[in-house]
Structure 1
Amino acid sequence: MTHEWGSAHDDETARALCETALGAASGPGVGYADVRLVECEETRLYGRRGGERDERAELNLGVGVRVLLDGVWGFAAAPLGDEADIRAVAARAVAGARAAAWASDERITLPPRPPASGRHATEAAIDPFSHTGRHDLLDRALAAAGAPEKVVSAEVGLNAKRQHRHFADSEGSRQHQHLVESGATVMVFAADEHDVQRRSYPNSFHGNTAGAGWEYVESLRLVEEAARVGEEAVALLTAPPAPSGTGDLVIGPAQMALQIHESCGHALELDRILGDESNFAGASFITPDALGTLRYGSPAVNVTADPTVPGTRGSFAWDDEGTPAGRRELIREGVVVDFLSSRDSAARLGLTPVGAARADGWAYPPVCFATNVFLEPGSGSLEELLDRLGDGYYVDDNRSWSIDERRWNFQFGTEVAYEVRRGRRGRLLKNFSYGGVTPRFWGSVEAVAGPVEFRAFGMPCGKGEPKQWGFLGHGASPTLVRDVRIGVA
């Protein structure tokens, strides 16, 4: 069942305010305008064993107006007040575009598109903001994670977010989206006189957040899993170190999610490819003429963008410039066939936009940002994939990462690795790392496990100047990769 929770501005009120802003965002030379009215509420509860609880709640409500005047963008935003404030924001956007047009030689043309209107809401069974068991769950998970001897630090976090996003443009689109997220994280550090090791759940760093209600947190079995990662962190202290050289790997879904993010998602963002974005996390080795010609990986590599997948953090029905979401192939049997694009970046290459224009709330203009980017499953179980591997290593859960400014050379470290002999997992190994060159790595993918092994992970990521946070999802099944350089310092 789909549930929605109250907003300070219902759809009809929000629509009226958007119409006011559109009416004010007009004048000579204005060829296009859009308005985003966004209300966002977040709650976060974090605890550390032996420390104080940190509980925070945030609420913000505002409006952003974007205009295209004489082929140049103008944008303005402000916290939401009365209609006079909204008119003032629209007037500033027009004035900014007019000033920029006077100084700029570049012009943008948006191909016309039919209006797209409707309502969309996250399917969520339990409101995470009204659930009363958060403090008890955090205390029990902390106790379980910190129970093993030699655990020196245990952290648990619970988070929830809901957004009411209203969009209107001068082409006739009117959209209302009500999005809910829930998530949790456990991180444990163990130490002895020689070493420090870390284990995380359900993913490293920020854990995992899903497009769902509190029922997602309940599904994580946080107390039981916190006990497991505490024990594994201690076991890593005495585990033998991973070797160096070259090896065959099966990479688990959590590590593959970050591999996709760093070496596929960002590399396929069209603003990086066109050279518009390079200040934050670099550009891309891909060139605009790569479509249909650049072999990115082996025939086993099929990568899609699909913000319509339910339950995933990066899911939506329309992006932040009103483009309808849909499943799009980015890499087909190893060959690049599309880019992650916004309207204006796609127009420059004569492409249909993928719907990857994203903004961090009302205060920022949309930028080209990876959405839900997935490595499509192949066939078979994890056990069958390990049997196919033969001798090698099973690795998962990221510990460290680095990639160059063109998304070309990379290296990753994982929290855990297991020696695999004759298709069976054996010894636990610590400090595993691997590296490579992006197209060579993806070209060495031999097989991907089937849909039953697929896992998706919600991630935060920063981009742009000024920096925006984007929230997205990546997913994969365990993946077999041959002849990988391992033991990268």
Structure 2
Amino acid sequence: MSPHGWGALADDATAAALVEAALDAVDGRVEHADVRLVEAEELRVYRQRGADVDERVEHTLGIGVRVLVDGVWGFAARPLADSADAVTAARRAHALAVAARGASEPVRLPELEVHSGRYETVVEQDPFAVAEHTRQALLSEALDAACVPREVVSAQVGVNAKRQHRHFGNSAGSRQHQHFLETGVLVLVLAAGHGDVQRRSYPNSFHGDTAAAGWEFALGRDLVANAARVGEEAVALLTAPVAPSGTADVVLGGQQMSLQIHESAGHALELDRILGDEVNFAGTSFIGVGDVGSLRYGSPAVTITSDPTVPGTRGSFAFDDEGTPARRRTLVGGGIVRDTLSTLDSSARAGLPLTGAARSDGWGCTPVCFATHVYLEPGTGTLDELCDRLGEGFYAEDNRSWSIDERRWDFQFGTEVAYEVRGGKRGRLLKNFSYGGTTPRFWGSVEAVADDLRIFGYPCGKGEPKQWGFLSHGAPSTLVRGVRIGVA
């Protein structure tokens, strides 16, 4: 039951009536209008060494209305307490658009097709229905396993779940209902000793890993065994040799490659950045509108795809937050930039195809261009075969730090672990491995991609005011030649 008394707005009919009320309030007075009604419930449960369980549940319910008047956007949002709030938001959005007329270059949208439908995440077990003692018992067991080595000085484990009901309608006639459910897990360990501090995480750095799935996702991550493993590895790193500096051939594992994709491909290919819309906050891109279809971004081994139709990922949906149907698009094909991540107005302004990458952080934010499920297409062969092809060099995995400039050109990344590769075999453990370069040179030096595609869920912040987008990246292990490693 919703705290606001609506009943669960998973009831499409109740939500649809509110969407219609908002559209009726602006009907006939605008060039375009769209309405998003969003109810979200989020559960976070964490256990940290030496502290009690921290369990939080957050709930939001509201409506956002966007209108276009004489080429100028107006947007207003309100939490929903009663049905009058939908009309109030619509009238406010219209008034703001009228007041802002002439303040910016007018937006001209193409004629929109009507797209209606319903989408629901397929899950085996609802994480919100799992008993509190079951969740907390899993975290306690994982925390105990991570803390077995005496050098472990800090450890945190967690599970999270989020349920969203997103209802959409626009003046073109589209009506959409989407029901999302996601589950995630986290292990983070710090070890100290021998004048050093090292960290290990699982299954993804920093925020953990989240997918469009139920409690089965948490159970499938084998949290206890992996917590024990990363605890031991954090301790082993304390006495491991420091990785060298220079130039080397490197195999990067899937988790590190997923962040490489996010920072130097996903953001670089956002059309709003390319057009300069994010210059005051998140930056721009080295890619220009005229580069689409011709710019050599990487080697022929590099094909990067956006495909939110892939089920089970954090970037999965049937319609984006402007009502555009999900579709598979090749962003980089055979190393050449083929497409961008775009929204309705950015694609219209640039004269480029519409990708359907408009995403918003709930009902209180306007949609902006975020990545969807963006991934590096896998190649052939296993990780061991890729290391054999590497011959002499390094294998590095799991991001520890990242830095990239505002144009997504120069970057420097550090990983939690690295291993020497000699004669095609992984050998001794190394710590403090880092690598850097420029985006086109790095991707142009990709020689081969393995078939071990793994998918990771990410949060990402952008926009003014800042909002969070939730997306996913898939990445196989990747062989890159002539990489600058270490700190010169």
Structure 1 counterpart of 2:111, one-letter code: P
User: Contact between 2:26 and 2:91, CA under 8 Å: does it hold in 1?
Assistant: yes
1:144 equivalent to 2:110? Answer no
Task: Say whether 1:461 aligns with 2:454.
Answer: no
User: What is the 5 A alignment of 1:303-452?
Assistant: 303-450=304-451
1:70-109 Cα deviation digits (max 9, x unpaired): 11110000001222211110000000000111x4241111
The answer to whether the Cα contact below 8 Å between 1:279 and 1:464 also exists between their aligned partners in 2 is: no
Matches within 5 A, 1:173-188: 173-188=174-189
Give the whole-Å Cα distance in 2 for the aligned partners of 1:391 and 1:319.
45
3-state SS in 2 of match to 1:129: helix
Runs of 4 or more consecutive aligned structure 1 residues displaced over 4 Å after TM superposition: none
3-state SS in 1 of match to 2:45: strand
In 2, are the aligned partners of 1:36 and 1:64 still within 8 Å (CA)? Answer: yes
Query: Given the superposition, is the C-alpha separation of residues 233 and 68 from structure 1 closer, same or farther in structure 2, using an over 3 Å criterion?
Result: same
Please, which moves more after superposition, 6-15 or 301-310? Answer: 6-15
CA shift, 1:311, in A, is 1.1
Matches within 5 A, 1:43-442: 43-101=43-101, 103-132=102-131, 133-442=134-443
CA distance in 2, matches of 1:343, 1:480: 37
Query: 355-364 or 79-88, which moves further after superposition?
Result: 79-88
Distance 2:10 2:379 in 1: 45
Contact 2:248 2:483 in 1 (8 A): yes
For residue 415 of structure 2, what is the amino acid of its counterpart?
A: T
C-alpha distance in 1 between matches for 2:12 and 2:98: 31
Name the SS for the 1:94 alignment partner: helix
**Cα distance between partner residues in 2 of 1:376 and 1:412:** 22
Does structure 2 retain, via aligned residues, the 8 Å contact 1:43–1:58?
A: yes
The number of residues matched between the two structures is 480
Deviation per residue, 1:86-139 (Å, 9 max, x gap): 1110000000000111x4241111111221011000010100001121000010
Deviation at 1:27, TM superposition (A): 4.8
Instruction: Please report the TM-score for the alignment, with normalisation by the length of structure 1.
Output: 0.97
For structure 2, the residue ranges without an aligned partner over 5 or more in a row are 1-6
- Contact 1:26-1:94 within 8 A present in 2 as well: no
The answer to whether the Cα contact below 8 Å between 1:160 and 1:183 also exists between their aligned partners in 2 is yes
Question: Unaligned stretches of 5+ in structure 1?
Answer: 1-5
Matched residue SS, 2:127: coil
- The answer as to whether partners of 2:301 and 2:335 remain within 8 angstroms in 1 is yes
SS at match of 2:68: strand
Q: Give 1:266 deviation, angstroms.
A: 0.3
Q: Could you tell me how far 1:204 is from its partner in structure 2?
A: 0.8
Partner letter of residue 247 of structure 2? T
SS of the residue corresponding to residue 77 of structure 2 reads strand
The 2-side partners of 1:333 and 1:191 are apart by 45
Instruction: Determine the C-alpha separation between the residues in 1 that align with 2:141 and 2:385.
Output: 37
Q: 1:54 is matched by which residue type in structure 2?
A: D
Identity score, percent: 68
| Rounded Cα–Cα distance in structure 1 between residues aligned with 2:215 and 2:120 | 15
Q: Show CA shifts across 1:186-230 (max 9, x none).
A: 000000141000000001101100110000000000001000000
CA distance, structure 1, for counterparts of residue 123 and residue 186 of structure 2 = 20
Match of 1:3 in 2: none
SS in 2 for 1:21: helix
Shift of residue 349, structure 1, vs aligned partner? 2.2
- Residues 21 and 86 in structure 2, CA contact (< 8 A), matched pair in contact too: yes
